[in-house]
Amino acid sequence: MATTLKGKDILRADQFTPAELGLILETAVRFEAALRAGERPANMAGKLLATLFYEPSTRTRLSFETAMLRLGGQVLSVAEAKTSSSAAKGETLYDTGKMIEGYADVAVIRHPLLGSAQELAEGAGIPIINGGDGAGQHPTQALLDLYTLIKEKGRVDGLTVALAGDLKNGRTVHSLSALLANFGVKFYLVSPAALSMPPDIVSQLARRRVEMVETMDLAEAVAHSDVLYMTRIQKERFSDPAEYERLKNSYVLDSALLAGAKPGITILHPLPRVDEIAREVDAYEGAAYFRQAANGVPVRMALLALVTGQE
């Protein structure tokens, strides 16, 4: 049977079969080429995307909306869903899901609670895409991160990848580590002790025989890594502001630190950055984070077209 994502929800980075991953990546490559040529790679005229953002977002929301519009579809969105939607009246996400299937063909949700996208998907008969559920998962970010790695490095197999920063609360690294576990990468997991990768994720990686080194030393990791994936300390997940203040400057990547890096290192960051990458690093040719953000468009176009069966 041919691989298809038609009708599927995109909830977690570990949900994809290798064939599905291949299909998404190959579709994104094709769509990117079409975009460059000024063509519309699939026709989603008459289709509607609903965006439900209960948490702040710039890139994820804009790139999903851009993606849908570039496919000829239309977008309806609840801005500030947390305060202006019926969630403020106590409606469950399950009920919101039941309702939204009457309005749209596909929906993206970002929400502060773990499992929120799953709950919406249980109610909705249309494909639901998780645009970030609390400190849980961010699968579409992981897909664009993977796409970026392939473009920047030409391969993923055998790379040493350092994931650095807030590994406890950062959903991007939860999703990305699961996705890269399919490709024979080695990890450096770099964080302060209080923000280390959750034990369930570490044991899942260990079960999959992924080689990893947990360390607090960013300099050691950059000296040995082909890729450095920096993350922001996730201020909004801290219940104690003093603890955030203590940890917020744990790591700052600057030219001095980069001087000790493995030659040719690629630097990624899901953005937004706060202070963890000095602006002087932007001029370095391996600084790929703005290219990474742009890659969100073809990847999200591919996902929208695939789950709605337009591709």
Active site residues: 59-60, 89, 110, 138
Residue 252 exposure: Cα atoms within 13 Å on the Cβ side:
11
The pair of structure tokens assigned to 68 is: 């849908």
Is 271 an interacting residue with respect to ligand NCD (CB under 6 A)?
Answer: yes
Query: Out of 130, 172, 250, 308, which residue is the one contacting ligand NCD (CB under 6 A)?
Result: 172
- Least distance between ligand NCD and beta carbon 14 (Å): 17
Smaller CB distance to ligand NCD: residue 169 or 310? 169
The footprint of ligand NCD on residues 229-268 (CB under 6 A) is 231-232
Q: Identify which of 151, 194, 154, 200 has the alpha carbon closest to the alpha carbon of residue 177.
A: 200
Query: Out of 130, 141, 160, 177, which residue is the one contacting ligand NCD (CB under 6 A)?
Result: 141
Is 67 an interacting residue with respect to ligand NCD (CB under 6 A)?
Answer: no
CA distance 96 to 283: 45
> b vs e for 202-233, b when ≥16 Cβ sit within 10 Å of the residue's Cβ?
bebbeeeebebeeebebeebbeebbbbbbbbb
Is 132 an interacting residue with respect to ligand NCD (CB under 6 A)?
Answer: yes
Work out the burial of residue 102: count CB atoms within 10 Å of its CB; fewer than 13 is exposed, 13-18 middle, 19 or more buried: exposed
Smaller CB distance to ligand NCD: residue 59 or 70? 59
- Least distance between ligand NCD and beta carbon 38 (Å): 27
Q: Are 228 and 268 in contact (CB under 8 A)?
A: yes
Summarize as ranges the residues that interact with ligand NCD (CB under 6 A): 59-60, 132, 138, 141, 171-172, 231-232, 270-271
